[in-house]
Structure formats: C-alpha cells, structure tokens
Amino acid sequence: MTPDEFRTHGKALIDWVADYLESIEERPVSPDVRPGEVRAMLPEHPPAEAEPFEAVLADLDRVIVPGLTHWQHPSFFAFFPGNSSYASILGELVSAGLGVQGMSWVTSPACTEVETLMMDWMVELLGLPERFRSTSPTGGGVIHGSASEATLASILAARWRISGGTVNRTGDTTHLVAYATSQAHSSIEKGLRIAGIGTDQLRVVPHDERFAMRADAFAELVAADVAAGLTPFWVCCNHGTTSSMAFDPTPEIAATAHQHGMWVHVDAAMSGIAALAPELRWVNQGLELADSYCTNPHKWMGVVFDCDLFYTADRAALLGALSILPEYLRSQAAESGQAIDYRDWQIPLGRRFRALKLWFTIRTGGVDDAVAMIRRHVAATQELAGLVRADDRFEVVAPHPLNLLCLALRDGDRATDALIERANATGRALFTRTVLDGRTALRFSIGGRTTDERHVRAGWDLLSSLA
Ligand SMILES: *Cc1c(COP(=O)(O)O)cnc(C)c1O
C-alpha cells in the first residue's frame, strides 16, 4: 500500500466505522451463525496475488459484520459492557500509526510519561487514595490489557512479598493460601494456577445474602490456615462482582488480612469507574487499605478495549516479582531511578501506546460524557427494578446499586433459562445468565454508550411479553 493509497483508504475506512456505529441499531444484536460458517465464506488459502483494498472493505460488510455480536449495540445487555467512543477509536489509530514499543522509558519516552500522567489523572478523576500516585513514595500505576492481567500481577507481587523474594529462586509456593468468594472473577483461579499456587490453595470464603464476602468467615478461615502451619498471602475483595455486582466489605477484610501480612487486592473492573460521579464514590470504600486495585475504562468509560488501570501501593513488591534485567535492556535513565520501565510492571515485555486513547478521551470531554452516561444507566436500572417488582411473575434476586439487575421467573430455573433463550433468539436484545446460590438468574446489564431508558424499557417489554 502506498502512502497515497493509505490516505484514501484510511478516510474511507473512518467513514465506514462511523456508518457502522450510527446504523448499528438496525441490526440484530447477535448473529445467527453456526460454528464454521464465517470461515466457510472465505477462501481456504491465502491469495496468490494482491487484491484491491475495495475487495477487503466489501468483505467487511459481506462476511465480518454479519458474523459479529454487536457490543456497541444499545440493546446489548449481556456480560458487562465493552463500550467505546469516537475519541478513543482515534487514539487507537494513532497508537497503530506511531507503532512504538513502550517497554522501557528509553524505547519511547513519551509513551511512558503520558501513561504515568494518565494514571495520575485517573487517581484524581476517580478520587483514589494518594498512595496510588506515581509521585507517592511507594506506589504507582500502569495500564494493563485486562483485569485478568492485573489479578495475576497482583498475585505475583504478593507471592514475592510474603516470601521476601525467595520464591523467585525456589518457586516453592506449597504453603501459600489465597482467599476469595465464589462470586469473584474466574481470572483469580486462573492467576493462581499460572502463579504455581493452584486451585487447591484457594479458599472459597462464604458470602452473605447480598453475595458479599463474610468478613467473620474470612477471619475464621485465615485463623484455621495459620493454625495448620499454612501462610495466608492474598485476598481478593470485589467491588462489583461479575455475577451480581456485589461489594465485599474491604475495611473489615483488610483489617484481618493486614494482621497476617497478606496482600489485599481490590477488583473493581466494572464498577470502579462509577467513581467518576462524585455521588457514587462509595464504590471506593476501603481502597486506602488495598495493596493493589484495578478498574477498566474499557468497560464503562468509553475507552475502547484494551485499557485496565492497575495501581499498587507497593511498587517494590511488583518490581521485585516482575523485573528482569538482561544486559541489552540496561539503561542509564532507569538505573538512575529517574525513569519508569513499564516492562517491569507487567507480564509481557512489549507494550503498545495505550495511554493515547485515554488521553484523547479525557481531553475531548469524555469524562463529562461518561458521568452523564453512568448516571443515565444507574437511573435506568433503578427504574427497571421497579417494573420488574411490579410484575408478580418476576423477582429481583440481588441488590442492584449500580447498573446490573439480576432477575428470575418465579416459575423456576427452567422457565428463566427458556426466557433468556427466546429473548436472545429475537435479535432485539442480548442477555446472559448466571447462577446465584444455585438459582438461575438473567443478568440485565446496562452499559452501552448509546443505551438509554428507551432501550431498557424495550428490553423489559421483550422479556415480559415472552415470559
Ligand atoms: C470483567 C471483569 C474482569 C475481567 O476483566 P478483563 O479486563 O476482561 O480481564 C475481572 N473482574 C471483574 C469483577 C470483572 O467485572
């Protein structure tokens, strides 16, 4: 592709993306395709000769779009949102255009310094504790691709700290024990496996009727493990569980954890962003006691995937666990302590200039847009709860302080499952299910950039007409 062709096709492609997003509501939310169907529409072998770009663009419409679940659709109520905004899409484009590798400060100083500044801006915007700032004596933050990476990084830092660094050499983790509720994210179990700690060393702490961790049960489990000669080292407090958006009582949990030198990780992947709205800052309760914390602008702030903010109050432990210094990566700047090398804050070596999409979003009014959207979604969820409660065939089955409503049919699990299937098959909305204390629930998750009360009401009308 020549530079002139790039200019021409690039402009056409920007129009194509805007057209896609502006007409998305006319499409079914999820595709009607069977496994293998998308691949079968494409040639089995790579082309022998170059094709015109127009042919590629045509296949976006013919093959790709019909094979998508439309995450930006306003009636996408599945999982949690992965919303985007035009400014953040442009930030991604620039990141690709610059094509820099930000693994160390010297490999691209602006990539590192803008990221550090964005992490500090987000401390301010979310009202996070000062100890997470890069300018604090012991803390700092980094952009990870996903909350799952943040969880793993946190486990590795905790593992390093509790062993005084010896685990880096011996790898012996047999006595370490981690804690979370059954409501916590699957990335915890995965992270523990990757870290060599294993699922048997994860204690599932009982939860209460609000699906929040029971601090008393946590304290009992820790005491029993200590009595058995084991070493409690890491606990995950959820601020907004994936299943039902439950909030664990971090202050009480941290009080027990710190008596035993444990690491407290707060996973607020979805709900932490709510703190952009000052009246919702209660989501930060207990963060001043956390050793690490993460939240995802790529879920609810209009910063297109991937953008997870990972903060720690103990960067020495994180760097102890993750820094490796071969000769070819040494630099004066890093050794003088004046520069940050983000490769030491994450699992991979290489890294993209992800801070650009956050910078573009924040500078062009994205924070006010996100606050308005968050308020709209929270209000729509509360209104929806009223509608569900007024229909005696349905039940609200979990607290709904923000933008997720879990509901079920009184007729039982089979009826709820059938309802989810029938509603999704219409293509007019998309929902996912979960199981809460053995009972099937429909998750009505409200988080699209363009989702408003009208879409929520239509989603509810669909459910009530099919029930
Ligand atoms: C979505 C979510 C995750 C996983 O986030 P990724 O960024 O997709 O890895 C982890 N924890 C919670 C509470 C979540 O809601």
Question: Model confidence over 335-353: pLDDT tens digits?
Answer: 667 889 999 999 999 999 9
User: Separation of 178 CA from ligand 1 center, angstroms?
Assistant: 18
Distance in Å, CA 148 to ligand 1 centroid: 6
- Do residues 243 and 138 both lie within one domain? yes
Residue 170: predicted pLDDT: 87
- Give the CA angle between residues 317, 235, 125 to the nearest 5°: 70
Is there an atom of ligand 1 within 6 Å of 271 CB?
no
Q: The domain spanning residue 281 has which CATH number? A: 3.40.640.10
- Quote the pLDDT of residue 220: 98
Domains held by the chain: number: 3
Give the end of a domain, one of 363, 391, 413: 363
Give the side-chain half-sphere CA count within 13 A for 272.
27
Residue 392 domain-assigned (yes or no): yes
The structure tokens 């910063």 sit at 303
Q: Which atom in ligand 1 lies closest to the alpha carbon of residue 239?
A: 13
Residues 246 and 327 in one domain: yes
Q: Is residue 32 part of a domain?
A: yes
Q: What is the pLDDT of residue 109?
A: 96
- 9-60 per-position pLDDT tens digit: 999 999 999 999 999 999 999 998 999 999 999 999 999 999 999 999 999 9
Low pLDDT (below 50) residues in the chain: none
SS3 label, residue 405: strand
Instruction: Give the residue, by CA position, lying nearest to ligand 1 atom 4.
Output: 147
CB 445 less than 6 A from any atom of ligand 1: no
Residue 78 counted as domain residue: no
Of 337, 363, 389, the position where a domain reaches its end is 363
CA angle 146/366/74 to nearest 5° reads 75
Residue reference for tokens 């996912």? 432
73 touches 448 (CB < 8 A): yes
> Are the beta carbons of 142 and 113 closer than 8 angstroms?
no
147 in contact with ligand 1, CB cutoff 6 A: yes
Residue 364's φ and ψ, nearest 5 degrees, are -105, 30
* Nearest ligand 1 atom to alpha carbon 184: 13
Count Cβ atoms below 10 Å from residue 59 Cβ, excluding itself: 14
Note the pLDDT of residue 329.
Answer: 67
Sheet order of strands, 292-295 included: 140-144, 308-312, 292-295, 263-267, 231-238, 176-181, 202-205
Which atom of ligand 1 is the closest one to the Cα of 238? 13
Ligand 1 centroid vs 6 CA: distance in angstroms?
Answer: 36
Give SS3 for 293. Answer: strand
186 forms bridges with which residues in the sheet? Answer: none
Among candidate residues 261, 253, 165, 174, the one with its CA nearest the CA of residue 217: 253
For the chain, the distance separating the N- and C-terminal CA atoms, rounded to the nearest angstrom, is 54
Whether 267 is in the pocket of ligand 1, judged by its Cβ within 6 Å, is: yes
Q: What's the predicted TM-score (pTM) here?
A: 0.96
79: in domain:
no
Whole domain around residue 406: which residue ranges? 366-466
